[in-house]
Amino acid sequence: MSTSTPAKQGYAMPAEWQPHEATWISWPHPEGNSFPGAYAKVIPAFVKMAEALAHSEIVRINVKDAEQEKQVRGLLKGAPPERLEFFHIATNEPWCRDHGPIFVVKKDAPRLAAINFGFNAWGYKLSPFEEDDEAATHMGNKLGVPVFEYEDFILEGGSVDVNGKGTVLTTESCLLNPNRNSHLNRSEIETKLRECLGVSQVLWLGDGIEGDDTDGHVDDITRFVSEDTVVTVVEEDEDDPNFQPLRVNLELLQSMSLKDGRPLNVLKLPMPARIAREGQRLPASYANFYIANTKVLLPVYHDTNDAWAASVLKEVFPTREIVPIDCRELIWGLGAFHCLTQQQPAV
């Protein structure tokens, strides 16, 4: 691949609500680290996610081998078979948002490209992760698109969110964490984001939510829903550890302007009640929704705030079906639908 940056070649990352050709997911393995003792319990959520996506667009599924492909095909009886495409790309864990490539597009050929960032399992929190680190390049190669290699820059897809108009949101707690890019300072990280994602403005939030082992991914707290609007989670219980960091983030967002000077429009999403397992707080959040072509997949938790969260998203995505899927088991893996998916833009 050319040493010229994606941005210099005219590439940029589209917003998630722009048209997709496909959504990629990576199917989990019983031997993985993400769902200790609960693998069988999370499969129903994976099935519902994949089937809902297949009624919206093509679903490209990474599996280990032909045997796993056969098993997964047998599970997805409710999906149109012509919308399912399987790729024998081994992964350690199922979090395709973070180990998959970020796809970027430009106006002239080749219109689609993939970026392979370095992956170190969220600051060396899980091992092994070598297959995850290689997955993005394999995915781009399977598609036959150019792959930009940025192995020296650790970046997970869940740590950034773009509006498709030159602005990216991220968090200090993740991107400035020395367990990612200790050789880069804040200014150098901003330069990398501009070079890779084709953005010209970087907006920084502070901390993420309690229980998030990614050190505070933005896709668990604040999401663009249009070029000038975000939804951001707020905690109403002042005694909850999430109350203060989420209030700080809300105040930051309310003070932000877009690059053209317009103030950022900020809508509030509730938080579900605390969910814990084996004494561990889990990062349950309504912000981890995924925007497909015709649907929005919303993680829900059998909580009184489920309906409120769905109503907020229906207001901002009136033409899309809001699909609530129970994530009380899935969240044991410390992520939900946005963490599990990676959109491939239509070109």
Structure confidence by residue, pLDDT tens digits, 157-175:
999 999 999 999 999 999 9
How far from 331 is each of 120, 160, 269, 280, 326, CA to CA, in Å?
A: 21, 20, 18, 11, 10
Does residue 263 form part of some domain?
yes
Give me the residues paired with residue 87 across strands.
62
Average pLDDT of 286-310? Answer: 99
Structural domain containing residue 33: 20-345
Residues 88-97 pLDDT 10s: 999 999 999 9
Residue 9 inside a domain? The answer is no
- Which residue from 21, 176, 27 is spatially nearest to 103, judged by alpha carbons? 21
* 196 classed as catalytic: no
Residue 69 forms part of a structural domain: yes
10 within a domain of the structure (yes/no) = no
Is 215 within 8 Å of 123 (Cβ atoms)?
A: yes
SS3 277: strand
Please count the structural domains in the chain: 1
The answer to whether position 162 is within a domain reads yes
Q: What six digits make up the tokens of 316? A: 């901002």
How much is the average pLDDT of 322-341?
98
Predicted confidence (pLDDT) at residue 281 exceeds the cutoff of 80: yes
Residue 147 pLDDT exceeds 90: yes
Asked if 102 and 13 count as a contact pair (C-beta separation under 8 A), the reply is yes
CATH number for the domain that contains residue 93: 3.75.10.10
pLDDT tens string 18-76: 999 999 999 999 999 999 889 999 999 999 999 999 999 999 999 999 999 999 999 99
Model pTM greater than 0.85?
yes
Residue carrying structure tokens 């495409």: 85
Residue 144 CB partners (closer than 8 Å, separation 6+) = none
C-alpha–C-alpha distance, residues 204 and 263, integer Å: 15
171-222 pLDDT, tens digit per residue, is 999 999 999 999 999 999 999 999 999 999 999 999 999 999 999 999 999 9
- The identity of residue 84, as a single letter, is L
Considering the chain, what is the average pLDDT of its residues? 98
> Rounded to an integer, what distance in angstroms lies between the CA atom of residue 341 and that of residue 97?
5
Please report where in the chains the tokens 């901002």 appear, as a residue.
Answer: 316
Token pair belonging to 27: 């199917």
The tens digit of pLDDT for each residue in 1-29 reads 556 999 999 999 999 999 999 999 999 99
Domain assignment present for residue 29? The answer is: yes
* pLDDT number for residue 2: 55
% of residues, the chain, pLDDT over 90: 98
